[in-house]
Amino acid sequence: MIENACLYFPVNKIAFKKVLPAGTSDGGFFRAASWYQFNLGMDQVRLTQMGDDLQQHLAGMVGYVSRMPNSAEAIAQAQHLLRGVKSVVNVALLRPIEAESDAFRAIIRLLERHNGFMFVDGNIMLPDGTFLVGPKAPVLLVDGRMTLQGLLQVNPDDYRHQGDTFNVTPDRLKMREQHYCMLAERGFECSRWLPINRPGQVRPHRQIVARAMAIKAIYCWAADINVDFDHSAIQNYVERNNLQEWLETSELPILHERKHKAVQEYSDLMSGKIESLWSLAWMLGYEYPPSYYGGQLPDDFRDEILWTFLPGFDTSVNEVLAQTRLRADQKIIEAEDIFYCAHNAVESARNGLPTVPKHFDPNGPGKAIVQRRHALSWALAPDSIWERTDLST
């Protein structure tokens, strides 16, 4: 049974009257309809086109899809479809309807007419009835391999490490080969000879807290977000906690600019900063781990990290230290290793190799993976400053 749904179209004008059964609407001879209502037997369907909050809704959906437990290929394809959407239509039903009902088939005809898709029961469904992502996503044939619950089936024997294993412990080798397989299941193919014995000592808890607080300060000052901050409060926050020490040389001028000029000159850089902050927050105990295969940080995660997980601008490093707990060294080492491998796949894709899923943009979500890796690699290089972190692949 279907209780509600949302329709997505790559066009601005929807042909409600031409496709659907006769009904009522607010459209006129010179005005396109913003809603349309029709009845088929006992089923009543009202379709309402989304208005001013369209872009915010789409951004939220892109973030929501990034957290689905499907393959990177499917997630990237779903996000690609969402980024091409120009109209969203909410479906309101008088009562739940069957997927085999005439009312539901009428909705499907509307999707077919405009090459749209549907979000229903937590799934993205295409006009042919197949599910692209979500819990109902079926087993599909992708690039000659079968996917199960959105993951490509891989043979572990095909993902053995081919590089030097001198002085590599069995546990480290096992971890790396597991990461090769985990990435391949999501459509990422990295080199099989990447070095395994790399730095593995986690820097002090205090330093990770200070860097997270420093990023929060410059992000809140220079990001293009609809929140107004007191400049003096942020300046005092930085000075009181000596956060200048944890800012890059290129970041220091940001807080000396007026708000509007900082946004104008530096807002493009803030998308990368917030991705790094996701990894830092996770190391400090934030619940959701940074994704090594998905798209940009979802807005709700961003807001939770900025306004809930990290205390306000009246706090101190010592207070955040007391409120957070650094994850175990091994967890951080494992996370950095899989991001290291994912980064290699992204860099190879930038050089034209087919090492990422078909619809995955190595210069979009790929950059987010690199920024998340940056924070993890920095945390495992206690003698290195942020801008000199070794990000080689």
Give the range among 40-44, 157-161, 170-174 with minimum mean pLDDT: 40-44
pLDDT of residue 149: 47
pLDDT confidence band for 143 (50 / 70 / 90) = very low
The answer to whether residues 347 and 249 belong to one domain is: yes
The answer to whether residues 9 and 116 belong to one domain is: yes
Q: Let me know if residue 241 belongs to a domain.
A: yes
**Which among 67, 99, 133 is the end of a domain?**
133
Going through 41-153 in order, the beta strands assigned E by DSSP cover: 43-49, 87-97, 117-120, 123-125, 131-133, 141-142, 145-148, 151-152
Burial class (CB in 10 A: 0-12, 13-18, 19+), 372: buried
The more confidently predicted of residues 177 and 231 is 177
Q: Cα–Cα distance between 95 and 44 in angstroms, integer?
A: 8
Query: Can you name the residues that pair with 119 across neighbouring β-strands?
Result: 6, 124
**Which domain covers residue 8, as residue numbers?**
2-133
pLDDT one-digit tens code per residue, 71-85: 777 888 898 899 899
The answer to whether residues 128 and 164 belong to one domain is: no
Specify the number of domains making up the chain.
Answer: 2
**Cα–Cα distances in angstroms (integers) from residue 38 to residues 28, 118, 245, 269, 346, in the given order:** 17, 19, 64, 48, 48
**Predicted confidence (pLDDT) at residue 33 exceeds the cutoff of 80:** no
**Which among 133, 166, 192 is the end of a domain?**
133
| Tokens coding 303 | 């807001």
**Predicted confidence (pLDDT) at residue 212 exceeds the cutoff of 90:** yes
Q: Cα–Cα distance between 71 and 141 in angstroms, integer?
A: 12
pLDDT of residue 226: 72
pLDDT one-digit tens code per residue, 35-79: 899 988 888 999 999 988 898 899 889 888 888 877 777 888 898
The answer to whether residues 77 and 21 belong to one domain is: yes
The answer to whether residues 179 and 123 belong to one domain is: no
- Which helix (H) or strand (E) element contains residue 83? helix 72-83
The answer to whether residues 205 and 280 belong to one domain is: yes
The answer to whether residues 160 and 121 belong to one domain is: no
Using an 8 Å Cβ cutoff, are 362 and 356 in contact? yes
Q: Let me know if residue 348 belongs to a domain.
A: yes
Q: Cα–Cα distance between 243 and 230 in angstroms, integer?
A: 17
**Which among 101, 133, 165 is the end of a domain?**
133
Q: Cα–Cα distance between 41 and 46 in angstroms, integer?
A: 14
The answer to whether residues 266 and 169 belong to one domain is: yes
Averaged pLDDT, 234-240:
95
The answer to whether residues 118 and 230 belong to one domain is: no
Q: Let me know if residue 333 belongs to a domain.
A: yes
Q: Let me know if residue 293 belongs to a domain.
A: yes
Q: Cα–Cα distance between 381 and 389 in angstroms, integer?
A: 7
**Predicted confidence (pLDDT) at residue 148 exceeds the cutoff of 60:** no
The more confidently predicted of residues 384 and 199 is 384
Please count the other Cβ atoms lying within 10 Å of the Cβ belonging to residue 51: 8
DSSP state letters, 315-381 = --HHHHHHH--PPPHHHHHHHHHHHHHHHHHHHHHHTT-S-S-TT--TTTHHHHHHHHHHHHHHHT-
Q: Let me know if residue 69 belongs to a domain.
A: yes
The answer to whether residues 129 and 160 belong to one domain is: no
| Tokens coding 368 | 């987010």
Q: Let me know if residue 141 belongs to a domain.
A: no
Report the interhelical angle of 259-283 vs 365-379 (nearest 10°): 60
pLDDT one-digit tens code per residue, 247-301: 999 999 999 998 889 999 999 999 999 999 999 999 999 988 888 887 778 777 8
Using an 8 Å Cβ cutoff, are 320 and 209 in contact? yes
The answer to whether residues 281 and 336 belong to one domain is: yes
Q: Let me know if residue 148 belongs to a domain.
A: no
pTM: 0.71
pLDDT confidence band for 144 (50 / 70 / 90) = very low
Q: Let me know if residue 145 belongs to a domain.
A: no
The answer to whether residues 116 and 167 belong to one domain is: no
